[in-house]
Amino acid sequence: MSDSTATRTSFGVRLRESMREHGPLCVGIDPHPPLLRAWGLSEDAAGVAKFADACVRAFAGRVALVKPQVAFFETYGSAGILVLEETIAALRSAGTLVLADAKRGDIGSTMDAYAHAWLGAGPLGTDAVTVSPYLGFGSLAPALELARANDRGVFVLAATSNPEAVELQNITGADGRTIAQRMVDDAAAANAGAEFGSVGVVVGATLDSAPDLSRLNGPILMPGVGAQGGGADSIRALVPAADLAAVLPNVSREVLQAGPTVSALRDKVAELAAEFAFLQD
């Protein structure tokens, strides 16, 4: 990207434009063993490479955001990481935005190293990365600063849908806010003054209630859609109508179970895109 500020566009703005062009879906690439077996592929790096290649051909240039789940590539060591690097490169060369689902969270120099791995110019560099703020939102500073400098994005785990998280994330502080709400509010502060912020939050689509998202001014990634039980109705129940245009339903298993053919994957994406078209109305 040019160093000229006149030609630079933030991740948030690029993502919003991609959502308007392709619809709001974030589609996962999750080559976990049951799916590899269902697709008739070997449970090794070679099988993952074939899986990822089909996903790239199905999704590139057709969805707003693609989210490889890093763990399913890391499982196979350096060979799996090489497949991930090639997958990221292929998607980005096609002009498709890539979110690394790495859920990194640490402090100081270690967080800085994670940030440079996923938001830098190296072979794993993506457009955005998921991060965990549960060592304190301030621990994310290296990632937030590098994302800002490189016009990349971060998605902060705020209110996740796994049952183990609810007890922690719903703890209420002296100011009356839950921990989840504080994470959303801190993300909103990081987006202050932006046309559309590059600091998103992750909010589960299967929750009974969600934090107040009205001041976020950034993208809302909502996993738990499809096979996990969330859908259009649950999103409407959790997100005010004025903020629906910021929502990215994260669909992974629901799409990937339609494989292994590229045409079947594309058909499923088209079906789900139509289901969630109301988000961009």
| CA 100 – CA 103 distance, rounded (Å) | 8
The 3-class SS string of the chain reads: CCCCHHHCCCHHHHHHHHHHHHCCCEEEECCCHHHHHHCCCCCCHHHHHHHHHHHHHHHCCCCCEEEEECHHHHCCHHHHHHHHHHHHHHHHHCCCEEEEEEEECCCHHHHHHHHHHHHCCCCCCCCEEEECCCCCHHHHHHHHHHHHHHCCEEEEEEECCCHHHHHHHCCECCCCCEHHHHHHHHHHHHCCCCCCCCEEEEECCCCCCCCCCCCCCCCEEECCECCCCECHHHHHHHCCHHHHHHEEEEECHHHHCCCCCHHHHHHHHHHHHHHCHHHHC
Catalytic, out of 50, 67, 103, 268: 103
Reply yes or no on whether 103 is catalytic. Answer: yes
Kindly list the catalytic residues: 103
